[in-house]
Structures are given as C-alpha cells and as structure tokens.
C-alpha cells in the first residue's frame, strides 16, 4: 500500500535538520488542570445518575479540542463509554450530521438504511424519543460521554436535540461535552440552545490563554530536545499571547526562516529577534511555509484546501491535472510540514490539522483556481449523493447577484465565496482580513447543500 509518511521524502525546500527534529506526534498536554478537574467532577455526578452538559469555549486554536480529547482519555480510563463527533462547516445544512456519524444511540435519527434523516412531524418525535430511550439504556451500566466538537458549525436539528435530551433523560448517566468558538457569531438557534443549557447548570469552561511558563512547556514539547534560550521563550510567549496553535506556528516560522536554530545543544536565536520578520498570524505563517515549497506542490496543495477540510487522494489527483507521483510528493510535503494528517477511511483520506491551516492555504489562491476545482469537487459530491439517494436537502445554486441585481461574473462569485466561506472566520488570529459585503445566495448553497 502507498505510504504517505516515508522518512526523507518531504520535499519542502529549506527544511533543516533541526526542523525535522520538531516533534509532531507525542506532544505533552500542558496545564488546564482546573478545567480537567471540573470535567471530572461532572463525570462523577453523571455516574450517580444525572445528565450533565459541559461547554468548552474559547478563541480559535486556544485548545478546546486538545482539552476535550484529553478528558475523553480520562473518561475512558474511568470505564465510561466515549462517543466523539464533530460538526463541520460543510455539513451545516445536513440535519443531524454529527450525530449520524455516531450511530449507536443516535441511529434512530436516520430513518432509513441509506441515511435519509427523519423528516419533520410525528416521525421526528418518535425518533427523538427513541434516541432518548437508547441513550438511557446505553448509560444503565456505565456512563456515556458524548464529545460534540465545534458546536458553532452545527446544523439546526442537532441543536434542537440537545435541550430535548436535557428534558427527557435528565436522570441518565450521560455527559455531553460540547466545544464552541467564542470568536464566531452563532446562529439564533445556537444562542438559544446555549442559553437553555446554561440554565440547566451546564459546566462552563472558558479557556484562558496559556501562561508564559505553560508556553515554555509547550515549546519544550514541540521542540522535543535541548534547552530553549530565554530570549526565545519570552519572544514566543509575548507574540503568541498564550494561544497554543500560534505558539506552534511561531516556533515553526522562526525555524523555517532561519531566525532560530539548534546550536550547542540549545534552541536559540541566531539573529536578533528584534528584527525578525515572522508571520503575525497563523494564516500568514502557513503562506510563508508554502512559499518555501516548489510551485507545483503549492498548486496541488491549495487545491486540497479548496476541496475542504477533508479530501481523498483520488479527488486531489483528479483536480491536480498532473502525475500521480507529483500528487504523492505534494501530500508527503504537507504531512511533513504538519499541515495535514492522514486518517483511516476506505481509501487514503486526509484532514487539515487545523481549520486555520486550511484558511491560510487558500488565501494565496486566485478565483481561477476555484473555478478549476469546484466543478470537479461538486460533480463528485453530486455523484455520491445520487448513489446514496440523498436529494432532500440539496439545493441548486441560484447565482450571485450584484447590487444592481445583475448576475455577478463567475470570477466575482468565486471571490465572494472565498471571503465568505473561509476568511471571515478566524476573527482574532487573522485580524486584518477586511469585511466584505454578504453574498446571501451565490455558490454557497451548492457547497453546503451538496451531500457527501
């Protein structure tokens, strides 16, 4: 089988030996003791027969997922049954999308064998009741922990299930841990759901930035070996403002650009950091990192970002218009650069390690790029939808009109789409992105409405 992680095959130009020693896999989990204790207490209460909710919130990259995954390990060790799922921006118009991924107690939400979600009305009421009954049954012998990631991207239906469960299985040993970004304006339903859950005494965990000493610990974990110069420590602590994702990106940026190197068994600045022209955001850091790669690889990999947070090797190959070998090399380069990770699936499937890394990869591309990739991607999606018989919540694009009511050009539509879908999200991390006028129709329905 094709291996995407062969040593020495990364083709990012300018990668130094010291860079390769950065440790991507076995990172230590830093701090968050109070938060873990609060979640642990909630699990204890839930084990006594009480449904609990925990809301983990904070800005992009602050460590919500890291905390939720860490707690999931703790809960597994405590013999709880842990179910993890995530809401995806692309699935916002698919009813119950994150819950259908879980199946098990949530299987009644899919009314038929090919995955059509339950329609509105009595069928839906019956399905909700069946989910409540199954959850109660599953939690009879050991607590069930449901980790629901990125609630800000949830579909409306999933948001409605949560308050329902709060009412119907209040005495079941179920703990729902939801992560939600504080820097994204949520829908009215999200706001209502959060208010409802808070009224029901949800455990509220707003993640603060890491302290400077925790930033130091994270840097040690990232850099794997050797001492770290104190000037470097304070530079990264100050610049990153304690955001762990930005800590990782800054450290990488400083090494990639030759400001920092491993010399005499220590990571230290080799030029004055006061003059360092390092990226000031995660997006800029990704663009800089891509700039170090050969042009062909950059082209192929930004296709991946246009496809979405998850993409298959086959689809990438189809959109690349180049040889299989070049695409394999590009994928390897990105894995080496820690922008994407390989996931187990039917065939080789990849995910961006973080949403902001995908955003940064797209920002450099022009509209032609989108018009090249989107038809292929959506053609594939429609094909898959037709195979699965999913048509109910798919809408065709209605076209994007300009202020005078005329249909905007494909180029304008593509640009609006880029701004709207990708660049307006990371409000704090990419603070300089200008606001654009809203495109209320346009290509968005085609993207979010087309099922996988």
Query: Where along the sequence are the contacts to ligand ATP (CB under 6 A)?
Result: 27, 29-32, 58, 60-66, 150, 181, 218, 244-245, 248, 354-355
Q: How far is the CB of 74 from Mg ion (least distance, A)?
A: 18
The residues in 51-110 that bind Mg ion, with binding defined as CB under 5 A, are 64-65
Going by the DSSP 8-state scheme, the letter that residue 261 receives in this structure is: E
* Residue (28 or 125) nearer to ligand ATP, CB: 28
The site partner of 252 among Mg ion, ligand ATP, none (C-beta below 5 to 8 Å per kind) is none
* Residue (361 or 451) nearer to Mg ion, CB: 361
* Residue (132 or 251) nearer to ligand ATP, CB: 251
The site partner of 162 among Mg ion, ligand ATP, none (C-beta below 5 to 8 Å per kind) is none
* β-bridge pairing 310-312 and 349-352: antiparallel
* Residue (128 or 352) nearer to Mg ion, CB: 352
| Dist. CA 135–CA 344, nearest whole Å | 27
Helix axes 244-256, 282-291, angle to 10 degrees: 30
Residue with tokens 């979010």: 448
Q: How far is the CB of 295 from ligand ATP (least distance, A)?
A: 28
* Residue (65 or 189) nearer to ligand ATP, CB: 65
SS3 of 340-386: EEEECCCCCEEEECCHHHHHHHHHCCCHHHHHHHHHHHHHHHHHHHH
Instruction: Confirm if 421 and 308 have CB atoms less than 8 A apart.
Output: no
| Dist. CA 306–CA 361, nearest whole Å | 9
| Dist. CA 432–CA 363, nearest whole Å | 13
* β-bridge pairing 340-343 and 349-352: antiparallel
Q: Does 182 bind Mg ion (CB under 5 A)?
A: no
Instruction: Confirm if 390 and 451 have CB atoms less than 8 A apart.
Output: yes
Q: How far is the CB of 62 from ligand ATP (least distance, A)?
A: 4
* Residue (229 or 341) nearer to ligand ATP, CB: 341
Q: How far is the CB of 153 from ligand ATP (least distance, A)?
A: 10
The site partner of 32 among Mg ion, ligand ATP, none (C-beta below 5 to 8 Å per kind) is ligand ATP
* Residue (39 or 374) nearer to Mg ion, CB: 39
Q: How far is the CB of 58 from ligand ATP (least distance, A)?
A: 6
Instruction: Confirm if 205 and 68 have CB atoms less than 8 A apart.
Output: no
Task: Name the token pair of 166.
Answer: 């709060």
* Residue (107 or 184) nearer to ligand ATP, CB: 184
Q: How far is the CB of 280 from ligand ATP (least distance, A)?
A: 18
The site partner of 244 among ligand ATP, Mg ion, none (C-beta below 5 to 8 Å per kind) is ligand ATP
Which residue's CB atom is positioned nearest to ligand ATP?
63
Task: Name the token pair of 337.
Answer: 């650069």
* Residue (44 or 101) nearer to Mg ion, CB: 101
By CB neighbour count within 10 A (0-12 exposed, 13-18 middle, 19+ buried), where does 59 fall?
Answer: buried
Q: How far is the CB of 404 from Mg ion (least distance, A)?
A: 41
- If we measure between CA atoms, which residue out of 143, 132, 146 comes closest to residue 176? 146
Instruction: Confirm if 424 and 435 have CB atoms less than 8 A apart.
Output: yes
By CB neighbour count within 10 A (0-12 exposed, 13-18 middle, 19+ buried), where does 13 fall?
Answer: exposed
The site partner of 29 among Mg ion, ligand ATP, none (C-beta below 5 to 8 Å per kind) is ligand ATP
Q: How far is the CB of 338 from ligand ATP (least distance, A)?
A: 9
The site partner of 316 among ligand ATP, Mg ion, none (C-beta below 5 to 8 Å per kind) is none
Q: How far is the CB of 308 from ligand ATP (least distance, A)?
A: 15
Distances (CA, A) of 85 to 15, 149, 307: 35, 6, 21
The site partner of 39 among ligand ATP, Mg ion, none (C-beta below 5 to 8 Å per kind) is none
The site partner of 31 among Mg ion, ligand ATP, none (C-beta below 5 to 8 Å per kind) is ligand ATP
Going by the DSSP 8-state scheme, the letter that residue 91 receives in this structure is: G
Binding site for Mg ion (CB under 5 A): 64-65
């Amino acid at each position: 089988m094709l291996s995407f992680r062969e040593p020495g095959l990364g083709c990012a130009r300018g990668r130094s030996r010291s860079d390769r020693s950065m440790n991507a896999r076995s990172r230590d989990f830093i701090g968050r003791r109070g938060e873990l204790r609060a979640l642990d207490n909630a699990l204890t209460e839930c084990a006594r027969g009480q449904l609990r909710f925990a809301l983990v919130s904070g800005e992009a990259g602050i460590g919500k997922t890291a905390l939720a995954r860490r707690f999931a390990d703790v809960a597994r060790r405590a013999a709880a049954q842990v179910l993890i799922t995530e809401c995806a921006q692309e699935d916002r118009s698919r009813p119950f999308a994150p819950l259908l991924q879980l199946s098990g107690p949530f299987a009644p939400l899919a009314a038929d064998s090919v995955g059509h979600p339950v329609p509105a009305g009595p069928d839906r009421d019956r399905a909700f009741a069946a989910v409540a009954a199954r959850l109660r049954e599953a939690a009879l012998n050991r607590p069930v922990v449901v980790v629901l990631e990125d609630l800000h991207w949830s579909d409306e239906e999933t948001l409605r299930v949560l308050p329902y469960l709060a009412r119907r299985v209040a005495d079941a040993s179920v703990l729902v841990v939801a992560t939600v970004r504080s820097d994204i304006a949520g829908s009215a339903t999200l706001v209502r759901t959060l208010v409802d859950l808070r009224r029901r005494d949800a455990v509220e965990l707003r993640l603060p930035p890491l302290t400077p000493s925790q930033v130091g610990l994270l840097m040690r974990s990232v850099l794997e070996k050797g001492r770290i110069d104190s000037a470097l420590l304070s530079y990264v602590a100050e610049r990153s403002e304690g955001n762990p994702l930005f800590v990782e990106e800054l450290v990488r940026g400083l090494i990639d650009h030759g400001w920092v190197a491993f010399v005499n068994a220590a990571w230290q600045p080799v030029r004055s950091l006061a003059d360092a022209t390092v990226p000031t955001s995660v997006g800029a850091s990704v663009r800089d990192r891509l700039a170090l790669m050969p042009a062909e690889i950059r082209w192929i990999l930004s296709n991946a970002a246009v496809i979405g947070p998850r993409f298959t090797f086959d689809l990438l190959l189809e959109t690349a218009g180049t040889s299989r070998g070049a695409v394999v090399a590009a994928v390897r380069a990105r894995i080496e650069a820690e922008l994407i990770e390989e996931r187990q699936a039917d065939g080789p499937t990849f995910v961006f390690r973080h949403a902001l890394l995908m955003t940064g990869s797209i920002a450099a591309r022009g509209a032609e790029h989108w018009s090249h990739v989107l038809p292929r991607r959506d053609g594939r999606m429609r094909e898959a939808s037709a195979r699965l018989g999913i048509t109910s919540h798919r809408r065709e694009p209605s076209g994007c009109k300009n202020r005078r009511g005329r249909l905007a050009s494909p180029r304008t539509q593509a640009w609006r789409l880029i701004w709207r879908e990708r660049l307006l999200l990371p409000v704090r991390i990419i603070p300089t992105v200008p606001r654009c006028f809203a495109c209320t129709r346009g290509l968005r329905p085609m993207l979010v409405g087309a099922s996988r």
